[in-house]
């Protein structure tokens, strides 16, 4: 098993509640989303590999493996899916992250596993596995205090050797674990997967 621990201290900026942004419904050509058999169906999301209910809200956060599907939310009351990550959200910060300082392009952004951790009442740290030219863990601030959730890009952590991660989990001290299912050569020479660990404020090492 290999572990990565990188030097990086990041701060989650606290901003006042702003006017609720307008969310755009995810388009869908599927016309078979009418309720049936006591079940409701949501059309539009593409390859939503993970879903997390934002606590104490009606919103279900979803990933999207298809390029451009990025991050979305589902209004569980209205049964409508919306795009959450947009060009307006993709604003680069002055803070730079090692090898990962540019926000993902909404046109090609694709995500896999998600992790949501409370930072303050109604505010969360969102970590998303991102696939594409640069495999990474994307970091966002999610504000759920308004009528609709608002997303702000905070930076990202590049995966070592561009290994594609599958799942991500976060801890209270800022540590992140990311799983890679296959494609690695282990210490015994066999092929397999691994868990990579990242912690803020510590130096890079492998073991």
Instruction: Write the CA distances from 128 to 176, 189, 197, integer angstroms.
Output: 11, 30, 15
81 or 6: which leads in pLDDT: 81
Give the whole-angstrom CA distance, residue 153 versus residue 197: 21
What average pLDDT does the structure give for the chain? 80
Give the whole-angstrom CA distance, residue 3 versus residue 1: 7
CA 191 distance to own-chain centroid: 27
Q: Where are the beta strands (DSSP E) in the chain?
A: 24-25, 51-53, 59-63, 71-75, 80-83, 110-120, 123-131, 136-143, 150-158, 168-170, 176-185, 191-198
Delineate the domains of the chain, giving CATH numbers in brackets.
47-198 (2.120.10.30)
70 or 90: which leads in pLDDT: 70
DSSP letter for each residue of 171-198:
-TTS-EEEEEEEEEE-TTS-EEEEEEEE
Instruction: Tell me what pLDDT residue 23 has.
Output: 87
Q: What is the pTM of this model?
A: 0.80
| 3-class DSSP assignment, residue 39 | strand
Instruction: Tell me what pLDDT residue 33 has.
Output: 79
Structure tokens at 33: 């989303």
Give the whole-angstrom CA distance, residue 177 versus residue 181: 13
pLDDT digits (tens, 9 = 90+) for 128-187: 999 988 889 999 999 999 999 999 888 888 888 888 888 999 998 889 999 887 666 666
pLDDT digits (tens, 9 = 90+) for 27-79: 876 667 788 888 888 888 888 989 999 999 999 999 999 999 999 999 999 98
Q: Which residues pair with 51 in a beta bridge?
A: 62
Place of tokens 């015994």: 188
Q: Which residues pair with 186 in a beta bridge?
A: none
136 or 98: which leads in pLDDT: 136
Give the whole-angstrom CA distance, residue 34 versus residue 49: 23
Place of tokens 């660990």: 197
- How confident is residue 20, by pLDDT bands cut at 50, 70 and 90? very low
pLDDT digits (tens, 9 = 90+) for 8-17: 333 444 444 4
């Amino acid at each position: 098993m290999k572990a990565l621990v990188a030097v990086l201290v990041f701060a989650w900026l606290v901003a006042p509640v702003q006017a609720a942004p307008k969310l755009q419904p995810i388009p869908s050509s599927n016309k078979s989303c009418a309720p049936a058999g006591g079940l409701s169906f949501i059309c539009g999301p593409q390859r939503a590999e993970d879903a997390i209910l934002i606590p104490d809200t009606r919103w279900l956060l979803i990933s999207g493996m298809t390029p451009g599907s990025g991050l979305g939310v589902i209004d569980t009351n209205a049964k409508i899916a919306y795009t959450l990550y947009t060009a307006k959200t993709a604003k680069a910060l002055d803070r730079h992250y090692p090898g990962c300082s540019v926000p993902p392009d909404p046109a090609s952004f694709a995500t896999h596993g998600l992790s949501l951790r409370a930072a303050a009442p109604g505010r969360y740290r969102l970590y998303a596995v991102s696939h594409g030219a640069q495999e990474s863990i994307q970091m966002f601030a999610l504000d759920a205090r308004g009528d609709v959730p608002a997303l702000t890009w905070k930076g990202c952590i590049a995966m070592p050797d561009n290994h594609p991660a599958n799942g991500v989990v976060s801890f209270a001290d800022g540590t992140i674990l990311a799983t890679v299912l296959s494609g690695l050569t282990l210490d015994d020479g066999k092929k397999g997967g691994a868990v990579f660990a990242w912690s803020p404020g510590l130096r890079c090492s492998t073991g």
